[in-house]
Structure 1
Amino acid sequence: MAATLVEENTAAGNNSRQWSLLGDDILNMIIDKFDNIYDYARFGAVCKPWLSFSHRFYYQKKHLFRANHQLPLLVVPMEGHQQIRGLYNIATDTLCNQIQLTLPYKRCCGSSYGWLFFVDNKSAEIEFLLINPFASESERSLIKLPPILCYHTVSQMDEYGVKKAVLSKDPNEFPNDFEVIAIYGGMKVLAHYKSGDQFWSYPKPTRKLQCFADVIFYKGMAYAVDSHSWIVRIYRKRFKKISPSGNSSPCYLRFKTINQKLSNTSFVNYSGNAYLVETCKGELLHVRRDYWTLEESMAIDAENEAEERRVQAEYEARTQEEHNEIMERIERESENQNVEDYEIMASKVSEVLFDEPHLSVNFTVFKLDYPLSKGQKSTETLNGEILFIGDNHSVSVPSSRCPNLPPNSIYYTDDYIDVYRHNIQFGSCDTGLFNIDNKSFGKHFVPSFSAEGMPPPIFVVPRYRIK
C-alpha cells in the first residue's frame, strides 16, 4: 500500500513535502520492517515529520531491539578524510552516506552500547575518552575516565597500549550505575572502573602470568578469558586497610576460575585471540581464533623443546659446582618462569609474522555450562546465529534478523595487536567471515581504496533513542 502511494505521488509530480502527509498507520507499516539504525537514518532523512515519527516508534519498540540483538554496523575509514568515518552495512553491502562520524584519527579500542573507546595520549598515562556519535542533543556524547595507573609494563601509551575495553551498561541510561573493564599493557592485565569512582581497581600484584584476551558482562557478572582457555569470574573486594593518602581505590579485583587454564608452555594450546559471546538464547560461548595452523604450532613447540634439551645438555656438561649454581639461580627465578615462557612464545610469533601480515586460519567455538558445572564443550553449530567479534563488545544476532547473511557464521575484524601495528601497514587486512558449517572463509568489507596506515574497522551497535 505504501509503495502504491509512493508511485502515485511520484507520477503526479509532487515534491518531497507530500511525504509528510502520509498517515501514521502507513508509516507504521514501513518502519515495522526495519532492522537497524541504517534503515532509521534513511527513513528520517526524508522529512522532519518522518524523523520525529521514527524516534517515537523506536522509543516504544526499543526493548525489542535489545532482546533480539540488533545487527551491528561497521565503522570504517573514509578515503581522504582523517577525522571522518563511515558506517557500513554488511547485510546490504552498502555505505550509509547519510551518516558520517567525526572521530579521532586513531584505533578505536572498544565499542559498547553505541559508545566508542579511544585513548587520549596527550599525557604520559592511559586515559580513556568515551565518544557516543549517536547521542541526541539532550544526552552526553563524551565521557573522560580517570587515568589508568600503569603498574604493569606498557610499551605504548597510545591506543595500542590497550587491548580492549567494554561497558556493562549505557552511561546515558544508567549514569550512576555503569562499569568499565579494560585489558591493557604488555601482559594484558585488567583494570575496573565503576561510575562515580575516582580511581580504577586492579588485581593484587602477582608474579603469575595473567594475560587476558576478552571480557564480558554476563547476567550481572563480569567474566574474562585468556588465550589458553582460562576463564574467570571477576569481582571486587575491599582492602582490609585503606591507603591513608586516599589516592587509590579502596577495592581490588579477585578471580574465580570457571574453566581451567591449559598449559601455557605449549603453543598448540595457544590461540591468537579469544572471545566471550552471549547468544540470543542467553548462553555463553567461548570462541578461539587461530593465526597458525596445527602444523605450524607443533613446529614451534618442537623447536622450543629442542632448545630446552640443548640447554639441559649444557647444564649437565658443566661441573657439579657450576651446575648447582645454575640450579639455585633457576630456583630463584622459577616464579618468573611464566613471563619468560610468554616472552619466548612472543619471540617465536614475531619471527613467524615479521615479513607478512597475519591472517586467521581457524575458529573454534565452545559452549560454557557454568553455573551448572565448570568446563566447556566444543560445538559445531551456532544454532543459526551470527557472531560479530573484534575490538567490539562481542555480539550475537539471529539469522532471521539478517537473511542476506549466512547463518552459523562469524564476522570478524582485524584486532591482533601482539605485534605492534603489524597489520596496519597492510591495511588492516584480517577482516572477513568464517562459516562454521563448512569451515570456509569469506570477505565482507573490502575498501575501494588503499587503507594502509588507517585505523582498523570496528563493529558498533548504535543506540537510537528519542530526542
Structure 2
Amino acid sequence: MAPQWSLLGDDILNIITERFDDIYDYARFGAVCKPWLSFSHRFYNQKKHLFRANHQLPLLVVPIEDHQQIRGLYNISTDTLCNQIQLTLPYKRCSGSSYGWLIFVDNKSAEIELLLINPFPSESEKSLIKLPPIICEDTVSKMDEYGVNKAVLSKDPNEFPNDFEVIAIYGGMQMLAHYKSGDQFWSYAKPTTEIHCFADVIFYKGMAYAVNFYSWIVRVYRKRFKQNPTGNSSPCFLRYKTICKRLPLSVCNYSGNAYLVETCKGELLHVRRDYITEESQMAMDEENEEEMKRVRAEYDARTQEEQDQIRQRIERESENQNVEDDEIRASQVEEMLFDEPHLSVNFTVFKLNYPSSRGQKSTETLNGEILFIGDNHSVSVPSSRCPNLSPNSIYYTDDYVDVYRLNLQFGSCDTGLFNIENKGFGKHFVPRFSAKGMPPPIFVVPRYRIKQC
C-alpha cells in the first residue's frame, strides 16, 4: 500500500518544516503533492519576513566549459553543481544580481543599456526588462560589460512592477545613476558633485545608501530641478547626504573594494576588502610622501629660466620618441600589470551607527551570520540555515574592477571565504584554470514563488 502523504495533518507538517534550514527545502517540500504545496503557501505567508531575498542562502551562477550561452548553478553548501538546472544567459560579465534578477550591460556607442533578466520566471512573470540608456560621457574606458560596475534593485519588479528602483554605478569615474519604474530617463548627480568612485549601493529601510573606496558613505535621494531641463533628460537629479566622511586620500585608506550589507537583525554593515597588506600600504604611502617632498624641493630650487629649459627639453624628447620605444615601454607596463592576479588579503567589517548617530565602529564578529559579497546585492544569512558553512565568515567572488581584465586570464581566481574572527582564508568554489577569460561567477538568490491551490 502506497503511503498517503497527502493525508498528513498540519501539526505533523509543521514539525517537519520547522527542521528546514533554508527556502529551497520548502520548495522541494511543496513539490511532493498539492496539499503540501498549499501548506507551504500558508506557512510562507505567515513567516514571509524570514524569507526576504537578501537573507537566504544564495547559489553561484557559474560558467560551463564549451557552452558560452549556458550557465550552471552551484550550491556551495553541498559543494555540488545543480546539473538539472541550466540558465541561458549572455556570454559576458553580469553587472548585478538582485532579488533573483541578473543585470547585464547591452551598451551601444556612448549609451549604456541595462537588461534585467529573470532566470527563474513563472508562466505569468516577466523574464526580461530593458531599461532606458544611461548617458555616459566617458567614451574611452568602462564602455563594455564593465560600463556598469554594479547595479542593485530596491524590490522585485515582478512583485512591484510600478514601484521598483534601480541604482547603477557606471563609467570610469564610477558615478551613480538612478531609475524609477515608469521613468523615461535616469537621474544623475550634478557635474559639480565631488563624490565619485562608488563601490556599492544598498536600499536599506526605504532609503538608498552608497559607499566609495575611501569609506565615504552617503544617503542618496532624488530632488527635482527648479526648472525642468530642456531635451531628453530627467526632471530630477541626485543629492547626497554624508553619513560617514571620506577618509584622507592615501594608499592606506583606499580599499580594493567596499560593500554595504544589511544583517538579519536589521543592522547596516560596511565591509572593506584589501588586495595589498597593511605593511605594503604604509610603505607605498611613505614612498609617495618622500617623492612629493623631493619634487617640491627640486622645483623650489630651480629658477624660472631653468624650469622653462627643462620643460622645453622634455617636450623635444617626447616628440623625438620613436614608435618602437613606445611599444617596448607599453609591453613592460602590461607585463607588470598582468604578471599576477589581485587576490584578497584582508577584510574589515564596520557597524554603522546611523541613524541614531553618524560614524561607524569596527567589529570582530558577525554574531553567527554569514555574508555573501561580490557583484551581487550583498546577502547576509544566519549560520543556522547553512550548517555546512563557516559562521562569522565572508564568502566572496572575484569582482576586481580597477584593471578589470586582470584576474580573468587566471580563471577569475579571487574567490573564497574569510573568517573575521580568526582571520583565516578558505575556498568554496574554485574555477578550473580552463575557465580563464570566461565570465566570473556571481551569487544569486532564486525567488520562492508558489501559487495557492
TM range (shorter): 0.7 to 0.9
**Aligned pair in 2 of structure 1 residues 32, 131: CA closer, same or farther (>3 Å)?**
farther
Q: Is the 8 A contact 1:83 1:102 kept in 2?
A: yes
TM-score for the superposition, normalised by structure 1: 0.84
What residue number does 2:233 align with?
248
Which residue is equivalent to 1:115? 101
Deviation at 1:248, TM superposition (A): 0.2
Is the counterpart of residue 72 in structure 1 residue 46 in structure 2? no
Q: Which moved more, 1:147-156 or 1:435-444?
A: 147-156
Matched residues in 2 for 1:441 and 1:403: separation? 18
For the pair 1:365 / 2:349, whether they are aligned, the reply is: yes
Taking a change above 3 Å as real, the CA distance of residues 132 and 373 of structure 1, as seen in their structure-2 partners, is same
Q: Which residue of 1 aligns with 2:323?
A: none
Letter in 1 for 2:158: N
CA distance in 2 between counterparts of 1:213 and 1:173 reads 28
In the aligned structure 1, how far is the partner of 2:74 from the partner of 2:92?
Answer: 18
How far does residue 154 in structure 1 lie from its aligned partner after superposition? Answer: 5.3
Equivalent residues in 2 for 1:125-164, closer than 5 Å? 125-152=111-138, 155-164=141-150
Percent of residue pairs identical: 78
Matches within 5 A, 1:445-460: 445-447=429-431, 450-460=434-444
For residue 12 of structure 1, what is the aligned residue in structure 2?
Answer: none
Partner of 1:210: 196
Deviation at 1:449, TM superposition (A): 6.5
**Rounded Cα–Cα distance in structure 2 between residues aligned with 1:89 and 1:30:** 23
What is the alpha-carbon distance in structure 2 between the residues aligned to residue 241 and residue 162 of structure 1?
A: 29
Match of 1:85 among 68, 71, 76: 71
Q: Does 1:269 align with 2:246?
A: no
Kindly indicate whether the alpha-carbon contact (under 8 Å) linking 2:412 and 2:431 is maintained by their aligned counterparts in 1: no
Distance across 1 between alignment mates of 2:348 and 2:334: 23
RMSD, matched Cα: 2.7
| CA contact 2:176–2:189 (8 Å) conserved in 1 | yes
Q: CA deviation at 1:120?
A: 1.2
Rounded Cα–Cα distance in structure 1 between residues aligned with 2:219 and 2:282: 31
Q: Which position in structure 1 is the counterpart of 2:224? A: 238
3-state secondary structure, aligned to 1:267: coil
Match of 1:167 among 153, 162, 171: 153
Which of 416, 433, 439 is equivalent to 2:400? Answer: 416
Contact persistence 2:110–2:136 (CA under 8 A): no
Corresponding residue for 1:229? 215
Kept in 1: contact 2:352–2:361 (CA 8 A):
yes
* Alpha-carbon shift at residue 83 of structure 1 (Å): 1.4
Q: Note the C-alpha offset of 1:268.
A: 0.8
Amino acid of the structure 1 residue aligned with 2:245: Q
- What is the identity, as a one-letter code, of the residue corresponding to 1:64? L
Measured against aligned partners, the alpha-carbon deviations of 1:241-287 in whole angstroms (never above 9, x if no partner) come to 11233x100000011111010112x1011110011111111111110
Report deviation, 1:406.
1.5
- 1-structure distance, mates of 2:19, 2:348: 34
Q: What's the offset of the Cα at 1:309?
A: 2.4
The one of 234, 244, 254 aligned to 1:259 = 244
Paired positions, count = 426
Preserved CA contact (<8 Å) 1:120 1:126: yes
Which of 402, 415, 418 aligns to 2:386? It is 402
Task: Compute the displacement of 1:23 (Å).
Answer: 3.1
1 CA distance for matches of 2:13 and 2:396? 35
Query: Partners in 1 of 2:123 and 2:234 — Cα distance?
Result: 33
5+ residue gaps in structure 1?
A: 1-8, 10-17, 327-348
Larger deviation: 377-386 or 204-213?
Answer: 204-213
Q: 2:269 aligns with which of 285, 292, 315?
A: 285
In 1, are the aligned partners of 2:54 and 2:379 still within 8 Å (CA)?
A: no
2:183 aligned to which of 175, 187, 197: 197
CA distance in 2, matches of 1:50, 1:124: 54
Change (3 A) 1:224 1:351: farther
Q: Which 5+ residue runs of structure 2 have no aligned equivalent?
A: 311-332
Residue equivalent to 1:220: 206
| Equivalent pair of 1:187/1:209 in contact (CA under 8 Å) | no
For residues 309-345 of structure 1, give each alpha carbon's deviation from its aligned partner in whole angstroms, at most 9, with x where no partner exists.
Answer: 232133123214777999xxxxxxxxxxxxxxxxxxx
User: C-alpha distance in 2, partners of 1:354/1:307?
Assistant: 25
**In structure 1, how many angstroms separate the alpha carbons of the residues matched to 2:30 and 2:59?**
18
How many Å separate the matches in 1 of 2:191 and 2:4?
63
Matched, 1:430 2:414: yes
Change (3 A) 1:364 1:261: same
CA distance change for structure 1 residues 32 and 450 in 2, over 3 Å: closer, same or farther? farther
**What TM-score, normalized by structure 2, do the two folds share?**
0.87
